Amino acid sequence: MDSVDLEVLTSAREWVEGGHRAVMATVVRTWGSAPRPIGALAAFRDDGAVAGSVSGGCVEDDMILRVRSGELVQDRPATTVYGVSADEAQRFGLPCGGTLELVLEPLTAASGLDELLARIERHELVTRRLDMKSGRVTIGPANWSDQLAFDGATFVSVFGPRWRLLIIGAGQLSRYLAQMAQALDYQVTVCDPREEYADTWTVAGAQLMRGMPDDIVTGMELDAHSAVVTLTHDPKLDDMALLEALKSPAFYVGAIGSRKNNEARRQRLAEFDLSQEEIARLRGPVGLKLGAKTPPEIAIAILAEMTAIRNGVTITQFIEPPKATVAGCAA
């Protein structure tokens, strides 16, 4: 899950364990322009300490004042709305016409934060169901298609890694990509059958698998919330993964290498049972054209392109155009 949300949950648990009263606020609806998306979290301690953000502005300041006065932390969950009028939107630093609705939940030892964080640490995708009348919390398994839902009586939120990234290769670039991707809500798996690379993999939270890339891709049963990036520069490994990944529903499939190397790769892939449409899905050279040179810069370029694609944004001038490929040549 998003590292900011994880910080909110961790801080909230520590506050409750320390004997503080605390309330967790979640954005459940927005109208017009909103500075934070639905699902954004913040936690407020009784002395005014805050973790996370629901607006990035004056809404938090107002809620800090309310929690210090004892107004915000009630015995049962409630809702509150900011930005109904133009004057209020200006007062709370919301964009013109922006309005947001928050669910406010008083936190206790019965809020299930221990179980929730334990499941997240095990890389599970879970739902947390809050009954607005009783404050009762239930936690259970979630599906990749589950979304935040609020009908006024029940608030259902989804926690855990909502996106998956498979990296082929455990080299230096992979380390930076894995670390950054985890902060962007990806469950990261790294595949490398080469002992000299796999034996030195040390990125916490990123699972290492030593099998052959094509077997790993097939076994993961990739879906539309999945991405695959090949970074070994070894066609024997990268191409094996691409042959399976390009046939999958994965929203992003990219390969490291120069334009010339990727043109040659597309020609090789065309010799197998891939259609021209499937080969055209390959992002190679991988990442946005940002002039990146160092491993951290390249990792940023890759994640920037992945973010644009998963959000439905196309930045033409920064993306390598797809090439039509037929068996043995690139058109």
Residue 70: predicted pLDDT: 82
| Nearest-angstrom CA–CA distance, 239 and 214 | 9
Residue 328: predicted pLDDT: 52
| Nearest-angstrom CA–CA distance, 101 and 26 | 8
| Nearest-angstrom CA–CA distance, 247 and 117 | 35
pLDDT tens per residue across span 94-119: 655 578 899 999 999 999 999 999 98
Amino acid at 101: E
Tokens linked to 105: 């939940």
The yes-or-no verdict on residue 268 having pLDDT over 70 is: yes
Residue 83: predicted pLDDT: 75
pLDDT tens per residue across span 215-255: 999 999 998 889 999 999 999 999 999 999 999 999 999 99
pLDDT tens per residue across span 6-51: 889 999 999 999 999 999 999 999 877 667 789 999 999 999 999 9
Chain Cα centroid distance, residue 66: 31
**pLDDT band of 73, cuts 50, 70, 90:** low
Residue 131: predicted pLDDT: 97
Chain Cα centroid distance, residue 7: 14
| 197: nearest Cα among 235, 219, 168 | 168
In this structure, of 19-23, 83-87, 247-251, 293-297, the range with the lowest mean pLDDT score is: 83-87
For the chain, list the domains and their CATH numbers.
3-159 (no CATH), 163-330 (3.40.50.720)
- Name, in order, each residue with C-beta under 8 angstroms of 45's C-beta and a sequence gap of 6 or more: 15, 20, 21, 22, 67
Task: Calculate helix-pair angle for 235-245, 259-269, nearest 10 degrees.
Answer: 60
The yes-or-no verdict on residue 214 having pLDDT over 70 is: yes
Residue 314: predicted pLDDT: 79
- Name, in order, each residue with C-beta under 8 angstroms of 162's C-beta and a sequence gap of 6 or more: 1, 125, 144, 185, 225
Across the range 210-217, mean pLDDT stands at 97
Burial (CB < 10 A; 0-12, 13-18, 19+), residue 321, is: exposed
Q: For residue 204, report the phi and psi dihedrals to the nearest 5 degrees.
A: -65, 140
**pLDDT band of 82, cuts 50, 70, 90:** confident
**pLDDT band of 86, cuts 50, 70, 90:** low
- Name, in order, each residue with C-beta under 8 angstroms of 325's C-beta and a sequence gap of 6 or more: 266, 267, 269, 270, 276, 279, 280, 331
Confirm if 266 and 330 have CB atoms less than 8 A apart: yes
